[in-house]
Structure 1
């Protein structure tokens, strides 16, 4: 497939400000990225993400500044590789990101990165304290996009975003933001930030020094690639199904997860699961809990867990447990007293 040109030339023009700042001719870098200088004078226009990667990589080397002129001091070539190496020995993603944020502050005080968790949502926040105003948008977008890519790379998993927030008005090229940050995008926010499910922070890192050495030469391409695998997808689907406002079908579930129904089914299959199996698992647990803890009529239990009638519920329940709902309820009622008897040693264990 031919690469799609969606990256705005506005980002290229901002990047070229770094060349002007350091008094270096960008002609060679533009030629290497196959960007015509005449195109830069057009108000709109776009290039491919690969072209921007080539240009940015060349600029970082030529200018010896991985920050591309954003900050009051250069970040010499290799600075971000050093941050990644320092985070690689962390036991999980949460510790790795905290290390990244802390060590980034040793490189520059012009931005402050922080990680926080509230209500099971993780927030990576970027506070601007001295970024070159002319380069502010490109700086914030690049830092957050790369940090998101690094996090995905470290755990070898897609991390769906619940929100990407930016402290400026929507630019003329705002349509590209959902491509760069799949998920809800908010402009005019108090701070730049990314929000995602905090459970990803507990995931162990899946990369080592060998993987890092192989990745660094092509880091710009790898850390921003869209990961297909989501190692928490099964858990996320299960929680949605367990919620009182659970989506009723695959389309609604996929919409809640910000993927297409086809992608949802494919990714579940890659994780060795299926939507129907997860639905059955959740309905079984809910039905068993209701039968064990309440005296509600079996017909009401059947309707509550998504069955149209008591007969289909009883058939499914027998397949799950080997008992009818009534038999399971009766055995569950006897269970505590039997367990208590066994614990006191009055009945021999089988």
Structure 2
């Protein structure tokens, strides 16, 4: 393998590099709620984090993530002085700026991954030598949960807040994203009336210049598939084009004279252009996602893949 540099979206490479046998030792300063997806540790591994009162109250280290690792059998320690991000496996070392958080997946981060034995040994020595540590047990978790509730989120690039420009129509945290294929159909007169009525009520909430933002209509035929406000949809068209993200901007709107059909208003940016599926697959592969399943309708569970898809439009 040698030594490789990865940026500005290194998390897919980090996750892949640490999926090895043997114990892993990690010193990751800050953990978001989705840290276990990015940093898949198991029983017998060691994790040192900064779960100080300041970090927890600022919502940059999540008690949910801490509890997940403890319950999985990972030995978790807290050091209030930790600001480094270093991982050591039996064969590799990962050294860089990336915290284990959703915010880190949308920030410009960089890491070096190496199998140089001296660097791997030095990384392990650094992690094992961190001082001022406290064992994270159930009492610790109870206390940090209280601190989290007292505190508030502080936006720090790569740690606790969104940092990219031109994301103003997207939720601060994109946690639910779906890939869907366009289905051609002719809306009925009653459906068009329901659409027009709801669009009129929602027009004041779209924000931004009228030429930039538009409301579109999306019909679903099954209430069990109901979406939520803030969900992000990405559409493909006959496997040729993938279209910019659309954000659900309304609750479910019942369509009159149908048994189960309903619709949603979607907020879109008119200045973003579609990308060919072939180009998108290549760019996503370059970001560490060689099989993004762009030809299959599904919910996109991976936080790093959600971030990579948004990067297709520099979002």
- TM bucket (normalised to shorter chain) is under 0.3
Q: TM-score, normalised by structure 2?
A: 0.25
Structure with the largest fraction of helix: 1
Q: Which has the higher strand share?
A: 2
Instruction: Name the TM-score, length of structure 1 as normaliser.
Output: 0.23
Larger RCO: 1 or 2 (CA < 8 Å, sep 6+): 2
